[in-house]
Amino acid sequence: MPVPKSAVIVIQIGGSVAGLLQGLQLKRQGANVIVLEQDPSKDRHSHESGVSIGPTVVKLLEKYDATGRPAAIPARFLSAAWRQRLRVASMVWNHNMSNWGCLYLILRANFDGFESQTVPRPPASKETDGQVEYRPGKRVTGVTYDKDKGLVHVEYVDVLNGDVSTVSSDMVIAADGVHSTVRKILQVPTRRDYAGYIGWRGTVPEARLSKETVEYFSNRLNFTFMKGTYFISYLIPTEAGDIQPGKRLVNWVWYFTVPEGSPEMKEIFTDVQGKTHPNTVPHGQIKPEVWSKQIARYVSDMTPPLAEIVTKTPRPFVTKVGEAEATQSSFFDGRLVLVGDAFTGFRSHLGMASEQAARHCFQMDRVWRGEITQEERDREARFYSKRFLLLNRLIGLTGLGLVLEVCRVLIAYLVLMVQHRLGLV
């Protein structure tokens, strides 16, 4: 199947890096693209949180980005602390860390010319670009396939006025996240599991911190291990794209075991208004007494730099850690494909969500160019997802000190790699 002449990208509330990467690639290849975004607002709420930008994302941005804005802060080292010991291990590991909102706004500027503080003057479209539309407030309600015409019909409703419409295209990319509406419509069997632990998260402006603490976190990804819990922390740009020293943010994630359905879980996920959230309590909505209690239990065991960033974070938030794995990624003769978290949602330890999304872009490009079949692409995507599901589990379980579970996952990983070498997966 050649590069489609038209495509519909379905994304969820809050935007989708996976969807915008696919949309930008298709636009640059001359396809006419419509994005259906469930959020009705013209702008989206800030996502001041860190993401890892892997080599495939970097390659894709180098190929298609025309803004000239740096999307990440490069770092050279990976380091580990144990309780009060600041450096028990350190190694060279080049990587790039970004701000979710910054990356999103760079992609929007390229895709549909969206103006923001990050990209106040979006680049003009190229002569070879296709026509694009970004339609906010459109919730998908149905998907059907006309095999004779090779068209996929997407029905959607305007969330503000209730109007129902249909759009048809050669290709539909479902990039609507772990709670994918398209996946539910298609009734794709999907495994979704809570990992057994949560992630407290936050960012703190570098300007609020001591010089010694900023230096400690600079140019490295930091792991801090404590008994039964651990942190990941690193520097990221602001959403506006500031990467200069003094203007950056220190991002941290604190993985902490909480049993599903426990009184502690209910307390943590009930916000200041008394509303209980199923997965995430947003910025500024955590009850102060809950956060104060969490800090008081562990701050004396933290390294001084870690204690400083955690206690000085103005608006922490918290989310459940989990994973999702669909059994099938393509439908309708390859004209509808689940990408990114809509296909497989990883635990967040390795920050591979955007990397998977970028790999899906290049995989689909190879299908359209006739280099691989859709079946080969799906098999490649399935192996990658299974591999990184296991690798993310290994990192998380190791950090939490769950030795028996680590051994089980390690065996499963080795079996998967042997099966792959034998051509069985």
Domains of the chain, first to last: 6-62+100-190+326-392 (3.50.50.60), 73-98+192-321 (3.30.9.60)
The per-residue pLDDT for range 346-357, each reduced to its tens digit, is 999 988 889 999
Q: Tell me the average pLDDT across 413-420.
A: 96
3-class SS shares of the chain: helix, strand, coil, % to 5: 35, 30, 35
- Is the Cβ–Cβ distance between 98 and 50 less than 8 Å? yes
Please tell me what DSSP assigns to residue 98: E
Q: What backbone phi and psi angles, to 5 degrees, belong to 178? A: -65, -20
| Mean pLDDT (whole number) for 175-202 | 95
Looking at the predicted structure, is the pLDDT value of residue 217 above 60?
A: yes
pTM: 0.93
pLDDT number for residue 352? 82
What's the start-to-end Cα distance of the chain, in Å? 24
pLDDT (tens digit per residue) in 227-261: 999 999 999 999 889 999 999 999 999 999 999 99
Name the H helices within 141-208. Answer: 181-185
Owner of token pair 């539909």: 172
Q: Residue 357: its pLDDT value, please?
A: 94
Provide CB contacts within 8 A for 289, sequence distance 6+: none
77 burial via Cβ count (<10 Å: 0-12, 13-18, 19+): middle
Mean pLDDT of the 78-103 span: 93
312 pLDDT higher than 90: yes
